[in-house]
Structure 1
């Protein structure tokens, strides 16, 4: 059986290892956010133009 201390060690790893982040993935994520936002506002503008144009 796993003791409570071992469980805590597994759940909360020590701070000696920094997580490695891929800068390319971060750039792609921001690009997806900006493209999604742009697409949303283009659709909103098109609907406004269609109903009140």
Structure 2
């Protein structure tokens, strides 16, 4: 027996605060990565 998703277009409710924290974490992780890359470049070619 296969499980079938409901045919309705309703999406599960997401917490906007959690979404904001997730985007903030993505942004900070990306910023940290590029800071490390910049420091490595500066170290090797500085």
TM-score w.r.t. structure 1 length?
A: 0.72
Aligned length: 46
| Structure (1 or 2) with the larger CA radius of gyration | 1
What is the RMSD computed on CA atoms of the aligned residues? Answer: 1.6
Following TM superposition, the consecutive aligned residue runs of length 4 or more in structure 1 with deviations greater than 6 angstroms are: none
Unaligned runs of 5+ in 1: none
Unaligned runs of 5+ in 2: none
Q: Indicate the structure with greater helix content.
A: 1
